[in-house]
Structures are given as C-alpha cells and as structure tokens.
Copies of this chain bind each other. A is one copy, B any other.
Amino acid sequence: MSTELQTQLLDSKGLKKTPIRRELVSLFLQNSNALSFHDIQDGMSSKLDKSTLYRNLTSFEEAGLIHKINDHSGIAKFALGQQDLSDDHAHFVCDNCETVSCMEGSVSIDVKVDDKVHVKQIQTIVHGICGNCNS
C-alpha cells in the first residue's frame, strides 16, 4: 500500500525505521527537486536537531537511498537515487531560481584519458534557465 512506500525503501536498504526517517523519506518522495539542508529542516513537521538530520542524510547516502549534489553554490543538495536514473545522470541547476533537479538520459565524454587513468564515475551539472522561469 502507498503509505508503506517509505517503509519498503528503508527496509530495502537495511535502515532502521524511526518516525524521523519515515518522514524524511516521505519528504524526498514528495519532491522531484533536490533539497538543501534548510529545505529539509523546513519541510519536516517539527523542528529537528541539525546533527540528527545530517547524520540521517549521511546514513541515507551511504546506503544509496539518496545522493548528494555539489553545485557552484558550495551548499550541498540531496535527492533520491532513483532506479530509473543511471548512476551517472546529469543534474540541472536553474541559474535564476537555483532549483536543482535530476535529468533523465546519458552523458558521454570525449576526452583524452591517459592509459593509466581509471574512470569510475561521471557527474555532470547542466546550468541554464528552467521551464518555470522561462515563461
């Protein structure tokens, strides 16, 4: 049932199901955009301690439930790691409203790489103006 989606996600990653974690997962499920720490703190029903939130975000990230995005602002944002998006998916940053969202599709690079260099992951940030701001 739909109210149990958070439970399924936490279970699937072997994470303990506390009330805070359930609400935190719900918050991510409700938002397609990446969330800053303050978006998260403001989005929870009660004001929670920041170390609790940061520790949960770290646990979620280590478990692969969410991923961290570092854009040019220097402030980390977090978004659900979705199965239908590749590991190397791109992120879109609106230079006007500063919204960050994940992009479907693939990124390919055509760069000179030395033989000894081992490429493991590609992270791409696409800057521009989002549909909302461009109206």
Quick check: is A1 within 8 A (CB to CB) of the other chain? no
Query: How does the 8 Å CB contact mask read for A61-75 relative to B, with 1 for contact and 0 for none?
Result: 000000010111110
| CB nearest neighbor in B for A91 | B123
Closest chain B CB from A98 CB (angstroms):
14
Q: Are B108 and A134 in contact (CB under 8 A)?
A: no
**A44 proximity list for chain B (CB < 8 A):** none
Distance, CA A68 to CA B90, complexed state (A): 19
Interface residues on A, range: 35 or more
Quick check: is A127 within 8 A (CB to CB) of the other chain? yes
Binds B, one of A3-11, A21-29, A50-58, A99-107: A99-107
| CB nearest neighbor in B for A104 | B112
State which residues 79-115 of A face B: CB under 8 Å.
90, 92, 95, 103-115
**A103 proximity list for chain B (CB < 8 A):** 109, 111-113
Q: Are A74 and B72 in contact (CB under 8 A)?
A: no
